[in-house]
Amino acid sequence: MKKRKSFLAFTLMAALAVTGCNFNSGESSSQSPEPNNNGGTTTEQPSSGKKVLQVFNTDEIPSLDSAHVHETVSFTVLNNTMDGLYRRDQNGQPYLAIAEKHDVSADNLVHTFTIRENAKWSDGSPVTAKDFEFSWKKVFKEAGHYSFMFETLAVKNAVAIEKGEKQPDELGVKALDDRTLEVTLENPNPLLNQLLSFPTFYPQKQEFVESKGDKYGLEYDNMLYNGPFMLTDWKHDQGWTYTKNPNYWDAGKVKLDQIDGYVVKDAPARLTLFEAGQLDRIELDSSYVDQFKDDPRFHIIETPTIYFIRFNHEHPVLKNKNIRKAISMAWDKKGLTDVILNDGSSPLNGLVPKRFATDASGKDFREFNGDLQQGSLEDAKKLWEQGLKESGVTEVKLGVNAADTDRSKKIGEYLKNQLEKNLPGLTLELKNVPSNQRLEIEKAITYDLSLGTWGPDYADPMTYIDMWVTGGSANRMKYSNPKYDELVQQAKLNTDLESRFKQMVELEKILIEEDVAIAPMYQEGLAILQKEYVKDFVYLPTAPTNNYLWVDIVK
């Protein structure tokens, strides 16, 4: 037997040899769990009295180079390890961070920032104005994903540089000296402070970046940090460790000693790890909501991500406003959010979600226009018949362009069921395709109806409103209303926040009620399980959402 076994062993060894060189590295990485070596036990919290938060991440960090980052995981890590000129507080309001002073010229175009004297990088060197100038221009020099944020910020020459008419060095940002940064705008921007807290506007220390070459931001020690935490370990696709940054200018605020972040892509596995005490906070799949909804660790967050239906405004029947309105009104949104989704999502009857923006007195944006596109089923049927008559048809078949995710399929089936029952003569054909293709179809406007979603870039209603200007890159349905375009332009330049707010309320009314440009569906909810000893975990409505700066562990 022994001799014959050796044949088998040989097969296996050969198999091993094929992957040999890599296998070794895999083994060593699996067997060297430092620095958070748990010594082969499965117990969770290190017992040294250190305050450690354990969180999950949905994916590996693609890059920590602020000029290139473009998705949630990187944004989250940068937000907690870096600091910009401004930072957002627990309520999402911007406060001066790396800058200690912000002077504005009379015409609101030239902004001069004084860098805090005690603002330091994690290697102890001072953060300078040059670090900002360098990193901002780098976004254009290296064609970073988020260069459009400079257009949103209205930095001088950003658009011209993007078009290739000007050089990245002509961007309206200049370090006057080590501690003075001058930012010049194309036009006044009421959102400037808030936008400046966004990761694309973080600084980078030129000498350090250049010394790391094209490896900058790809390992934890190929990075300098100037924020509350710094990465002290990063095992690819596996997890990373944050440690309190002693050089942070505002280090007194930081209560945690360490954050262990693990990549856990499977939702049920997150729940298992939460129950096993290896994660302190998870997002819950809607299928578990009923099981946990009375649990003291259970929380619902209303996120500002909106789901809506795009109409093809050039479709022979859909160009009729009554038809569009009937489609929007003839189904039960509450049934979708409470029964089908059951994850804290709530019906949306406007463009701007609730609990997202308020006027100066604190009144929610949603309350100004109330529920739009509302009416009884009878009203919807009347509009539908009238619309069909006006279009000269008795029945219509519409394709629904949607992603092939479980969620989109569920929504599509629900819509089909409801609308075909309530609107006689309507047939919906569900076309679930991969997300990329859904987007391509939307861009080409070759759909009839398209299930869309939008999360805000910044905490202001304008992030939803300016999507729909003529030719806007998020429009994707050839909706065009010159009056709307003009009012958007006015509101964007309006530095009087009160009248600007009124303009935006008016704009929403035009878009949703007067033009029935889109049919809002719902506002996304997020079910959370969080250990009771975790305090002050700040989840902000706009990216980056997870803020660990204020978190405390009280056991």
* Residues of this chain, 145-164, that bind another protein according to CB under 8 A: 145, 147-148, 162-164
Q: The tokens of 223 are what?
A: 């990075």
Round to the nearest angstrom and report the end-to-end CA distance of the chain: 59
User: Strand, helix or coil at 282?
Assistant: strand
Q: How far is the CB of 148 from another protein (least distance, A)?
A: 6
| Binding of another protein by 429 (CB under 8 A) | no
Of the candidates 525, 74, 73, the residue with the CA atom closest to the CA atom of residue 304: 525
Nearest approach in angstroms of CB 240 to another protein is: 12
Interface with another protein by CB under 8 A: which range of 30-38, 123-131, 410-418, 419-427? 30-38
> For the chain, what is the largest distance between any 2 Cα atoms, rounded to a whole number of angstroms?
92
Q: Determine, following the binding rule CB under 8 A, whether residue 62 of this chain makes contact with another protein.
A: yes
* Closest separation in Å from C-beta 510 to another protein: 23
Select 6 or 90, whichever has its Cβ closest to another protein: 6
Nearest to 127 by CA among 139, 114, 115: 115
| Contact map string, positions 463 to 492, toward another protein, x by CB under 8 A | ----------xx------------------
Size of the site for another protein (CB under 8 A): 75
For another protein, which stretch binds (CB under 8 A), given 261-269, 321-329, 406-414, 485-493? 261-269
Do residues 500 and 488 touch, judged by C-beta distance below 8 A?
no
CB of 229 to another protein, least distance (A): 20
Contact flags string 374-413 toward another protein, x per CB under 8 A: ----------------------------------------
Tokens in use for 288? Answer: 């578990």
Q: Of 57, 93, 84, nearest to 72 (Cα)?
A: 57
Q: Strand 396-403 relative to strand 426-433: parallel, antiparallel, unpaired?
A: parallel
CB of 547 to another protein, least distance (A): 22
CA 430 – CA 413 distance, rounded (Å)? 8
Which of 268, 316, 424, 425 binds another protein (CB under 8 A)? It is 268
CB of 281 to another protein, least distance (A): 16
- E strands of 312-448, at which residues? 346-347, 396-403, 426-433
Q: Interface residues for another protein in 178-197 (CB under 8 A)?
A: none
**Binding mask of the shown chain, residues 443 to 462, with x at each position contacting another protein by CB under 8 A:** --------------x-----
Considering only residues 82 to 141 of the shown chain, the ones binding another protein according to CB under 8 A are none
Between 111 and 270, name the residue whose CB sits nearer to another protein: 270
Please give the residues from 232 up to 251 whose contact with another protein meets the rule CB under 8 A: 235-239
Which amino acid does the sequence have at 190? Answer: P
When the beta carbons of 160 and 301 are compared against another protein, the nearer one is 160
From the list 96, 109, 175, 269, which residue makes contact with another protein (rule: CB under 8 A)? 269
- 494 binds another protein per the rule CB under 8 A: no
Contact with another protein (CB under 8 A) among 110, 218, 393, 493: 218
CB-wise, 18 or 251, nearer to another protein?
A: 18
Residue 253 CB, shortest distance to another protein, in Å, is 30
Buried residues in 182-211 as b, exposed as e (16+ CB within 10 A):
bbbbbeebbbbbbbbbbbbbbbbbeebbee
Query: Cβ(400)–Cβ(327) under 8 Å?
Result: no
Cβ proximity to another protein, 386 vs 437, nearer residue: 437
Closest CA to 223 of 122, 129, 324: 122
Per rule CB under 8 A, is residue 278 in the interface with another protein? yes
Is 295 an interacting residue with respect to another protein (CB under 8 A)? Answer: no
Q: How far apart are CA 540 and CA 233, in angstroms?
A: 26
Q: Does 46 bind another protein (CB under 8 A)?
A: no
Contact yes or no for 197/220 (Cβ under 8 A) = no
Closest separation in Å from C-beta 394 to another protein: 35
Q: Tell me how far CA of residue 376 lies from CA of 379, 380, 385, in angstroms.
A: 5, 6, 14
Show the 3-state SS of 448-516: CEEEEEECCCCCCCHHHHHHHCCCCCCCCCCCCCHHHHHHHHHHHHCCCHHHHHHHHHHHHHHHHHHCC
- Categorise residue 124: left if φ over 0, alpha if ψ from -120 to 50, beta otherwise: left
The CB density around residue 529, as the number of other CB atoms within 10 Å, is: 20
Cβ proximity to another protein: between 384 and 479 the closer is: 479
Least distance CB 27 / another protein (angstroms): 6
Question: Considering only 273-281, 353-361, 363-371, 385-393, which stretch makes contact with another protein by CB under 8 A?
Answer: 273-281
State the nearest-atom distance from the C-beta of 443 to another protein, in Å: 9
Q: Does 275 bind another protein (CB under 8 A)?
A: yes
What is the phi/psi pair of residue 442, to 5°? -65, -45
Judge whether 321 and 530 are in contact, CB under 8 Å.
no
Count of CB atoms within 10 A of residue 286's CB?
A: 18
